[in-house]
Every structure is written in structure tokens, then in C-alpha cells.
Structure 1
Amino acid sequence: MKNIKLEIYDTAGQERFRILTSSFYRKSCGIFLVFDLTDETSFKNLTNWARDITYYASPKCVVVLIGNKSDLGDSKTPKEEADEFVNDKSYKSYFVCSAKTGDGCKEALKCMALEVAETCAVDDNDTVPLENKKEPKKSKCYLF
């Protein structure tokens, strides 16, 4: 098994970051779409975020849905409803997590890492040379 480095940016779902968020989508190999299990409005707002992902992100982008705050135990979103959302959007998986206790977080991160490694591997066939200009070899790979 090889090591995989993930760079994770948290925009906290705030409207003031919405314009910035769209620029992150363009180069992302994976997106965690997180909602608050204890807030029905948070789940309903997923539709808007999903629309942005569809518009801005690559079709190869792995999307994992996370219901957060499981430690509070007062879920307003039935698992069936979240599963249906994941299936309708063809997202990879759904995890119930607690950022406070860490429950479920490791599994969600592992799922994302494995899927990104499989679907977003650097492939020379995905690039098109614009010039036949010889440049010194550089070895860089970016994950946004």
C-alpha cells in the first residue's frame, strides 16, 4: 500500500465563501459534502451545493456525503433520505460522523483517499502537449 497525501480545505459552507468555493471545485479530485444531522435546513441546502459541484467540478471528482454531529444523537435527517440523495447524485458514499469525537471520520477519509487514488491518478494520456519545447524534468503533482 502506498501513502496518499490529502489536502483538505474547509469553507464551512458559508455563503461568503461560495465564490471562492467554485474555484476550488475546478481542480479538486474529491469533495466532502458535509451537512448538520441536527438541522433540517442544512440537509435541504445540499441541493444548492450539489448543483455547484455538478457545474464546476470535473466529472471524475469523487463526492462523499457526510452527516456531521452524530454525537448529539438528535438526527433530523433519516438515513434513507441521505442514501437516496447519494444515489440520485451518483456520489460515492455516505458516512455519519462526529467531528467532535472523531467517530466515522477515519472511515470517510479512507474511502476518499482510496477513491481519489483510483480515479484521479496522474495519467500522461490526459495531457496534450502544446509545444515540442524541451524543459528540464520536474516531478510535481497537485491535489486540490
Structure 2
Amino acid sequence: RSVTRSYYRNSAGGMLLFDLTNRTSFESIRQWHQEVTDTIQPFRMVFLLVGHKSDLAGQRQVGQREAEKLAASLGVQYVETSAKDASNVVQAFQMLTVAIYQALQTGRLVATEAWDGVKSSIPLPVLPKAQALQKEEKWKRCSC
């Protein structure tokens, strides 16, 4: 646990992954979210909930609506992926990246000097509001 906790610190974002064919992994999401949130206090982090193994529909133990409900209760976006058929894998990283960018732009996330990836000394480009809203709406839709 101490190794994983060191990864949480100074992170701008993270994916909360669970196996769609393993109910126990889904039921652990709240605990993982809380552990990360507690570890990084007083800082914040952007999360994306990811249900993986979407290609195994016949073995599914967690429904899409149930996962979407959990995501909404955590205040995060949700996407289902499959590494086997490469569905939504790139989209998951894009969703998290856009969410981090938007959080930085709105001040919900503040860059710190301790971050290894996002540097606060580099000015962030500003997207026109219409373009940003279009992108936000695009990522809210599930392409399952």
C-alpha cells in the first residue's frame, strides 16, 4: 500500500478501474476513491471511472446504469473499455486528459510545483468556450 500511495501524491488525475465481470472489484471502487482522496489531502485529483472487459458481455456482473450511477455519486465520468478489442481505450485517456484540462481552466484543480507531469510555470492555453463545451458534451456520451 505504501508504494501505491506514493503514486497518488502529486497526481492530477487517475482512473478508478473495475472488472465488469467481477462484482467485488466494482464494490471496492468507493473504498479506493476514498483512500486516494484521503491520501492527497488537502489537494484534489480528477478521476475517471472505467469498467473494463466490456467485450465479455455474457460474463458481465455489473450493469452500465449501475456503474453510471456510481460515477455520478462520485462526481466523475464513466466509460467502458476493452483491451481485447481496443474499444474506448484511447477515449478513456482522452476523457481524463480533457477533464484535467477543464479542471485546471476552471480552478477546480490547481497546478503545484510538486507535479512531475503538469508544470504550473507553463501557461495553459485557453480553449474558446464554445469549443470546450462541444468537447465536454462529446465526452459525456457513451459510444458503447
TM-score norm. by structure 2 comes to 0.68
- What's the CA shift string for 1:24-71, capped at 9, x where partnerless? 111110101100000111111112211112202365311000000011
Alignment of 1:40-51 (within 5 A): 40-51=23-34
Q: Which amino acid aligns with 1:85?
A: L
Q: Which amino acid aligns with 1:75?
A: R
| 1:143 counterpart = 2:127 | no
Shift, 1:143, TM fit: 2.0
Task: Give the corresponding residue for 1:30.
Answer: 13
Q: 1:62 to 1:43 in 2, by over 3 A?
A: same
Q: Sequence identity of aligned pairs in percent?
A: 29
From 95, 98, 101, the counterpart of 2:79:
95
Query: Equivalents in 2 of 1:65, 1:56: separation in Å?
Result: 18
Shift, 1:106, TM fit: 1.5
Shift, 1:127, TM fit: 6.4
Q: Which amino acid aligns with 1:83?
A: E
For the 8 Å contact 2:16–2:49, the answer to whether it is kept is yes
From 93, 106, 117, the counterpart of 2:90:
106
- What's the CA shift string for 1:2-40, capped at 9, x where partnerless? xxxxxxxxxxxxxxxx22111211111010110000011
Alignment of 1:1-144 (within 5 A): 18-57=1-40, 59-73=43-57, 74-91=59-76, 93-120=77-104, 142-143=116-117
Q: Which amino acid aligns with 1:80?
A: R
TM-score norm. by structure 1 comes to 0.68
For the 8 Å contact 1:60–1:119, the answer to whether it is kept is no
Q: Which amino acid aligns with 1:49?
A: W
Name the one with the larger helix percent. Answer: 2
Gaps of 5+ in 2: 119-144
Larger Rg: 1
Query: Equivalents in 2 of 1:52, 1:112: separation in Å?
Result: 19
Query: Equivalents in 1 of 2:40, 2:14: separation in Å?
Result: 9
